Amino acid sequence: MNLTLKVWRQANSESKGKMETYQIADVSPDMSFLEMMDVLNEQLMTQGIDPIAFDHDCREGICGMCSMFINGEAHGPDRLVTTCQLHMRKFNNGDTITIEPFRAKAFPVIKDLTVDRSAFDRVQQAGGFVSVNTSGNTQDANAIPIDKHDADKAFDAATCIGCGACVATCKNASAMLFVSAKVSQYSLLPQGKVEATERVMNMVKQMDEEGFGNCTNTGACEVECPKGISLENIARMNREYLYASLKG
Amino acid sequence: MTLTASSIGRKVAMALSGIFLVLFLTQHFSINILSVFSENLFNEVSHFMGNNPIVQFILQPILIFGVLFHFIMGFVLELQNSKSRKIKYSSYKGSANASWMSRNMIYSGIVILSFLGLHFYDFWVPEMNYKYVEVLPLDPNRYFGELVHKFHSPFRVAIYALSFIFLSLHLVHGFASSFQSMGINNKYSKTIKSFTTFFSVVVPLGFIFIALFHHLN
């Protein structure tokens, strides 16, 4: 396949970026999107052009590092996949592909397609944990019986890899799907219920401070999420937040 | 902490005011549709609503507050959301993952707000003038005539019809969305969505029917 790529180039967080156009030839349909980017970078380096910076790590949809906005969609046109799992067979010979970084005020661009998603880390640090007394008499987790439905829902929420596609795709750059998944994965389990009130209040407060937008229930985040995190989690977080607010 | 200080609080406030306005819309429609069946009954109910002190001095101010709150909060949220992404995407395929209605609530809302301006000018301002400025004598039979008079102009009927189409688009997303905002997403959500679609079609279509009925008669 021969493709035209329009890629966002930005030297650093301070500089003003712009879209650059590159041609790439002989792309195999079996390549992953990131392999295609690797080939493009080799081509650019032989031409003496600075290679395109992009985030990646595991390249098997687990780590949540890859973060490209491809042809107007987070992680590209495929569903339930990350950019590294997207294959070139989803495109046609002669296509023009637009590649941009995940854009949000809370995700500033570091360089080219890499963005700073540490806002998610700070939200997680605000309450996304269960405090455990490790004085030597810690209870075995398996000693606490958990309803199968709750365990499944908690597991589903815990599959969120924190890639930020929900923020990138939301027209308001809202982080509600991510935060609600992290709230839910703990609050559904008896171990997490103890700190549920404090957790939801602190995580939502941090989310707001980071500059994410307000959720308007468009549902775009659920559609674009590579892990299929459900909007049910947002409803659960709303319930818990309301309950926590009323409780004071 | 006040309810509107957090993003979730603002969502809930929008949802509650929205549901309140849906209830008002239902009541308004229930009264207006009477004008199609019985002039006397419509006059009787309208006279009660226009002169009952509880409706006039308690419910009406609450309604005006609800309308203002919903619109002002809508604009505040839109302004905040527009600041959350400083550099826009050069390619953004919103239609791939969300409905047009859900992505354009502000525009359907602006059309409804403009319509409300016209509606207030047509009915509310003359009513206030009649009762509290000129202090004209009570006339329990004037309401039907006032209603029909407004729908003589085909231009006005067209504006009303267009506005109600936008109201329908606003409700299709907004009504069911209110429940999600309040944390209700369970086995009843499918029923809520079906009822939302039913309500969003039937009520605005009913209002258009009333306007056309009086125009044609």
Q: Any CB–CB contact under 8 A between B90 and chain A?
A: yes
pLDDT tens digits, B87-109: 999 999 999 999 999 999 999 99
Q: Please state the domain extents for chain A.
A: 3-111, 118-247
Contact check, Cβ <8 Å, B180/A234: yes
Average pLDDT of chain B to the nearest whole number: 95
Helix%, strand%, coil% for chain B, nearest 5:
80, 0, 20
| pLDDT of res. A243 | 94
Determine the distance in angstroms separating the CA of B78 from the nearest CA of chain A, rounded to an integer.
8
- Reply yes or no on whether the pLDDT at B1 is more than 60: no
Q: Is the ipTM of this complex over 0.90?
A: yes
Name the residue facing B7 among A73, A214, A235 (closest C-beta).
A214
A36-40 LR contacts (CB < 8 Å, sep 24+): A36/A3, A36/A88, A40/A5
Nearest to A204 among B8, B80, B94 (CB): B8
pLDDT band at residue B2, thresholds of 50, 70 and 90? low
Q: Name the CA radius of gyration of chain B, rounded.
A: 19
CATH topology of domain A118-247: Fumarate Reductase Iron-sulfur Protein; Chain B, domain 2 (1.10.1060)
Count of CB contacts below 8 A, A vs B? 134
Q: Are B169 and B108 in contact (CB under 8 A)?
A: yes
Whether residue A172 and residue B81 make contact (CB cut-off 8 A), yes or no, is yes
Cβ-defined contact of A72 to B86 (cutoff 8 Å): no
Report the chain A residue with the minimal C-alpha distance to residue B98: A220
In the numeric block, the tokens 């550099």 are attached to B87
If we measure between CA atoms, which residue out of A158, A159, A176 comes closest to residue A167? A176
List the domains of chain B with CATH numbers.
3-81+101-216 (1.20.1300.10)
Chain A: closest CA distance from residue B11 (Å): 7
Cα–Cα distances (Å) from A226 to A82, A98, A156, B133, B168, in that order, read 6, 19, 12, 62, 33
Q: Please, are residues A50 and A25 in contact by the beta-carbon 8 Å criterion?
A: no
**What's the pLDDT at A136?**
78
Q: What is the pLDDT of residues B171-198, one digit of tens each?
A: 999 999 999 999 999 999 999 999 999 9
Q: Do domains A3-111 and A118-247 have the same CATH topology?
A: no
Tokens (6 digits) for B164: 């109600």
Per residue in B116-128, pLDDT (tens digit) is 999 999 999 999 9
- Domain spanning A3-111: CATH superfamily: Beta-grasp domain (3.10.20.30)
B3 touches chain A (CB under 8 A): yes
Cβ neighbours of A172 in B, within 8 Å: 81, 84-85
Predicted local distance difference test score (pLDDT) of residue A5 = 98
Q: Name residue A173's beta-bridge partners.
A: none
Write the CB contacts of B203 (distance below 8 Å, at least 6 apart in sequence).
B25, B26, B29, B171
Q: Is the Cβ pair B185, A235 closer than 8 Å?
A: yes
- Per-residue pLDDT tens over the stretch A69-118: 999 999 999 999 999 999 999 999 999 999 999 999 999 999 999 999 99
Per-residue pLDDT averaged across A167-195, rounded? Answer: 96
Chain A nearest-CA distance from B172, in A, is 12
Distance from CA of B15 to the nearest CA of A (A): 10
User: What pLDDT does residue A132 have?
Assistant: 81
Please write the tens of the pLDDT for every residue from A106-152: 999 999 999 999 999 999 999 999 998 777 777 787 888 999 999 99
Instruction: Average the pLDDT over B42-57 and give the result.
Output: 95
Say which range, A138-142, B151-155, B185-189, B209-213, has the weakest mean pLDDT: A138-142
Per-residue pLDDT at A133: 76
> Percent helix, strand and coil across chain A, each rounded to 5?
40, 15, 45
Partner-chain contact A105 B180, CB within 8 Å: no
Residues of B in contact with A205 (CB under 8 A): 6
- B7 vs A169: CB contact, 8 Å cut-off? no
Contact A56, A34 (CB under 8 A): yes
Q: Evaluate whether A179 touches A131 at the Cβ level (below 8 Å).
A: no
Is the CB of B8 less than 8 angstroms away from the CB of A242? Answer: yes
Mean pLDDT along residues B142-157: 94
Quick check: A67 and A113 in contact, CB under 8 A? yes
